[in-house]
Every structure is written in structure tokens, then in C-alpha cells.
Chain A
């Protein structure tokens, strides 16, 4: 009995330490957004809570500033549209790639990732010039397209793994039964891939919700939530930015809680084999 208990202690201790390190910064964010300035603006900070207690004045400022709702709406719109479009574009391609022979598949996958090796800053300007020619600067649609650039390789990767997990024997059986290619896709492949697609969709949504660099280049008048946060961060508005940061993070925490249950093996493995 005691030996078994002893074995468990380091296990739980490690868990506790890791959890603490992960959670403390997030706690800090909440804390700052609800603290009195006097408690934060001093050389020796309080680790847990300051003497002056909680204040809701910063949240009040944020909600009455009139800037919150437009950015919230824009972020929501863009993230959702990016999610839908990314799946529509990447899923079919991922399916094809997962069924293709070895040399091509490798090539496809590598090319997906070459696109991620260049610093974003350098790509963002030429892209914004092109978008401008198409009259897309400062539009939500332009931002959606820009986010797709960032997100498509990532989604393609995850979906390749998802489709790989669906055995070819099922397709073969279906065509033996006399179904056309399209019908097979709809009735067999599509339902089986749904969990993987759902996970990929949520990851895409999160990535777009948090995106910043392209938003910086392609937005003139209406900020997304991260841009609005950046505005405050840039000007030392620490309480406002902490409040905005909390608003950005809350849906994320909720979504990841839902998401974590559905992540199964093979999903992230991509073209591992």
C-alpha cells in the first residue's frame, strides 16, 4: 500500500506544478483586468491579490467605450467564414492527396509547408498590395482571404490524416455496390470524416480568431479584437488590454474544453506514414 502511494505522489506533484505554470499567466490576465491601478503600479507586485481588492471599472470602461461590439462582431464574422471556406477548399484536396501514391503525396505535403517557412511580415505587404488592387483593403472579405492563406496548409495537413484513417476498402466496397464516385463521397467518406473535419474546423476558427499580422496590414478603420488589444498594448493601456485579452480568451477556453474530447489518434498525424 505505502509503496503504491509513494509512486503516485511524484506523479500528482508533477501534474500540479505543470498546471500551476500553465494557469498562472492566465490568472494574471484576469487579475490585472480587475485590479486597482494602485495594486499593479508598484515595484513589488502581489502574487495573488492586492489589498485594494477587485474593481470592475476597467470592464465598465471597455463595455461603454463603444469599440467592443464592432471588433467582436468583425472577429466573429471573419473567424466563422474562414472556418467554412477553409474546410470547403482544403477537405476535397486533402481527400485526393490521401489517396494518391507515395512520391506525389510527399511532394504535396512538403509544398504545403514551404509556404510556412517565410517570415509573415515579408509576405504581408505584397499580399496587401494585391488585395488593394482588387479593392479589398479594409474589408472583412479581404481579411477572410488573407487568413485563408495562413490557415490552409495547416488544415490540409490535419485533414490528410483524417482521410487516411478511413480505409480504402470501404470505398472499394461502395463502388463494387455500383455507386458513382460522387455518391461514395457523400454517403461513405463524408460521414466518417466528420469528427476529423469538426476538429480541424475548430482549430481553424481559433487560429483566425487570434490572428494579428494580416489584420494589421489589411485593416484601416474597423479593428478585429486582437488588433484592438494591440492598440491598447501599444499605448500602455494595460487594464483595457487585459480586459480585451480576457474577452478574446474566454471563447477559446470554452471551445478547447469541448474540443479536447474529440481529438483522437491519427487526426494530427497527417501524412506521418
Chain B
């Protein structure tokens, strides 16, 4: 009896003790990366910095969707255990709004002049620089080379060609083989943004001419799309492409890791994108570097940020991971199997647009998805529905100002 009690106490104390283990100066970083990407980070990027600055880097993986919650909780309890974040630029405004990140205006000099100006500009909120550029990212159009071999089907370069291909594929295979991200969350918003911008519209207005054109197009296209559209997001699209449930779909470059490297498909390639009435348009996503406000190791974090933006590391990220660089002098040779994809990524970046950095992006997200469901999936009247939601959106945005 007593032995068990003692053993229990020891175990309890042990697990308590595990909470306070620490040593020396440790820099804590969080990012949302795949396993291969972490391997490169831990194996090549971190060690040089650790040696140079005589510190230890503790890196954790926090998925993009969970980061805001976790950082906010830590901030409120005044127990910030992360110093530097590699943040998905999907929704940066809340970090500024909730005062979670350090104002970097006075550290602007840490950004080398070689870094693309266009990448830095959207990181300014209310005239203050709040983030450093990390890596730009953009979706590319994956296609099945067995099907799109040029003889029977060619990859669509315009909206008209896209709808024609989708129609023909559905007729031939009895079920749609093309998909957009239809999960009615941020995935959908991203792709709708691309369609609206390619038609000259503004997503925050929602009922201007361009948006109407885009939604009308999507409404017609949907009838030829795969039923998997409603399950297709940045993760499942890779599965569908690999299983050949889909022959054509847009997705992030992470697809090449999953489809080609992991699933060993040799018949999937990618190109930039198709053109709408107002030309080609893609949305620039990617990661930015943020330093938490209450970080205990601010100096070290700033040094690491500079390190990440340096030419050596940017070149490393290009050659090892095929990440598009933030500066022109970092172009290196991408691994051979990635070259086609990399070319598509760089081209797609050329047509890149940024999401408007407004405080109420979640409201935009909500109404775009409501509109998508009503118009595209349920076939309601385009103009009327958009007018209603545009009004609701404006009202909500006012509240959040």
C-alpha cells in the first residue's frame, strides 16, 4: 500500500518537474510546416545560427488555424513562451488588432535593400511595420498528364477553355473531374478571391461588376465540377489528384511534396493559372515573420529574423525546399523533380495580388462563403444574393472599424 502511494507521489512530482526544464538561452520558434520542411530547418537552418549565437533553438509546430488562439491565450496569461513566429499571412490583422506582435518600424533596417519591395509593403498596418517578409507562396494548377496530353485535352488557359474542358470531362467520365476548393471556409475564400480579381472585381465590395461576373461563371462551372469539390481543401485536393478522382485542380505547392514525393505519382504536373476577363490573377499567400510582444528573447529573435531573410538562408530554402525567395539574389538550382513546379510557382507569383489587410477579414470570409453556397451550389440569383450579402458585409465591417 505505502509503496504504491510513494510511487504515485514520485510520478506526480516527476511530471511536475518536467514542466520546468530549461537551460541557457533558448529561442522558441513556431511554424506550421510539413515533416520534410522541418527536417531541413532542424538539420540545416538552425545549427548554424545556434553555433553562431551560442544558443539553443526550440521549435514547435503549431498549425496555422490554431496559432492565433494559442498565442492569444499565452499573451493574456502573460506567459509568452514563443519568441518568433513564422506566420501564415492568411489573417494577420487580428495579431495587430490584439497587440500580439512587436512593432518593427524601428527595425526596418534589418531588411536588406535587396528584398522585394512589393513583399514588404503589405506588412504595414496603420503606417507601422508589423511583420518581416518570410516567404511568398501561391497556388498553382495541377493537372494529370495522362489526360491532358495535348491531343485529346489541353490545359485551359482561359475561363472559356476551363469551362469547356470541365464539361467535356464530365461527359466523358460521367462525373466531374475538375474541382475548386468548396469546403466553405478560408480555402474557398482564397480561390473565389482569385476568380473575382481575375474579373476585375473587389472582394470587399462583393457586388461590383467583376464579382458578379465571377460568381456567374462559377455558378455555371459548378455544374461540371466533381462532387468532391465540397470536400476539397488544401489537404484533400492532393489525395484526390493522387487517386485520379480529379484531373485538374488548383492548390498550394505543398501538393508537390504529397503527390509526387510521398505518393510517388509521376503523371501530375502544374502550370501557373488561367486568365479571366481581366487577365490572370493569383492570391499571394505564404508566411511572414512575427516577433511576439512579450517575448523574453527579443534581441535573439530579431537576430534570427535577419538570419532568415539573409541571402544564404534564402538560397538554402530555394535549393532544399523549392520555396520562392524573398530576394532576387537568392535564386539557386531547385531539385530536379521540383523544377517544373517551381517554374509554375514563380510565374504564378507574377500575377499575384494581396488580400486586403483589413481588420474584418473573417467577416469577408463568412459572406463570401455564404454567397458561394447560395449562388454557386444552390443556384440562386447572382445579383440579388450578392447585393444582400454585400450590404451585410459593409455593416459588419463598420462595426469592426
Residues of chain A touching chain B, judged by Cβ–Cβ distance below 8 Å, are: 37-38, 40-43, 65, 77, 80-81, 84, 88, 125, 128-129, 132-133, 135-142, 144, 216-217, 220-221, 231, 234-240
Contacts and interface: CB of A to CB of B under 8 A. Distances in A.
Given A37-B262, A137-B74, A84 B8 contact: yes
B244 interface: yes
Interface in B62-81: 62-63, 66, 69-70, 73-74, 76-77, 79, 81
B297 interface: no
A89 B265 CA distance: 54
A135 B73 CA distance: 12
Contact of A139 (B19, B74, B236, B244): B19
B243 A220 contact: no
Size bracket, chain B contacts: 35 or more
A124 to B, nearest CB: 10
Contacts, number: 95
B11 A236 contact: no
Contacts of A88: 8
A237 B35 contact: yes
A140 B15 contact: yes
Contacts of A125: 69, 73
Given A81-B15, A84-B8, A141-B19, A236 B76 contact: no
B18 A140 contact: yes
Nearest to B242: A41
B77 A129 contact: yes
A128 B79 CA distance: 13
Across the A-B interface, the 5 shortest Cβ-Cβ residue pairs: A132-B77, A139-B19, A221-B60, A41-B242, A37-B263
Contacts of B99: none
Contacts of B238: 236
Contact of A37 (B16, B60, B264): B264
Nearest to A132: B77
A41 B263 contact: yes
Interface of B is mostly: helix
B44 interface: no
B61 interface: yes
B258 interface: yes
B66 A137 contact: no
Interface of B: 8, 11-12, 15-16, 18-19, 30, 34-35, 58, 60-63, 66, 69-70, 73-74, 76-77, 79, 81-82, 235-236, 238-239, 242-245, 254, 258, 262-265
A136 B262 contact: no
23 contacts: A37-B263, A37-B264, A37-B265, A38-B264, A40-B243, A40-B263, A42-B243, A77-B15, A80-B11, A81-B15, A125-B69, A129-B77, A132-B76, A133-B77, A135-B19, A137-B79, A137-B81, A139-B18, A141-B19, A220-B62, A220-B82, A235-B258, A236-B236
B239 A238 contact: yes
B244 A129 contact: no
**Which DSSP category, helix, strand, loop or mixed, fits chain A's interface?**
helix
A234 B19 contact: no
Contacts of B74: 132, 137
Contacts of B69: 125, 217
Given A42-B244, A129-B76, A236 B19 contact: no
A150 B52 CA distance: 46
B68 to A, nearest CB: 12
Contacts of B77: 129, 132-133, 137
Contacts of A137: 73-74, 77, 79, 81
Contacts of B254: 235
A141 B15 CA distance: 6
Contacts of B58: 221
A141 B243 contact: no
Contacts of A129: 73, 76-77
Nearest to B70: A220
A146 to B, nearest CB: 13
Contacts of A236: 235-236, 238-239, 258, 262
Nearest to B66: A216
A106 B269 CA distance: 64
A128 B76 CA distance: 11
B297 to A, nearest CB: 16
A235 to B, nearest CB: 6
Contacts of B81: 137-138, 220
B262 A81 contact: no
A270 B79 CA distance: 42
B15 A132 contact: no
A234 B74 CA distance: 24
A66 B260 CA distance: 24
A141 B11 CA distance: 10
A78 to B, nearest CB: 8
Contacts of A77: 15
A132 B19 contact: no
A81 B258 contact: no
Contact of A132 (B66, B79, B239, B263): B79
Contact of B265 (A41, A136, A140): A41
Nearest to B63: A234
A220 B62 CA distance: 7
Contacts of A37: 242, 262-265
B15 A144 contact: yes
Contacts of B16: 139, 141
Contacts of A128: 73
A191 to B, nearest CB: 12
Contacts of B62: 220
Contacts of A135: 19, 79
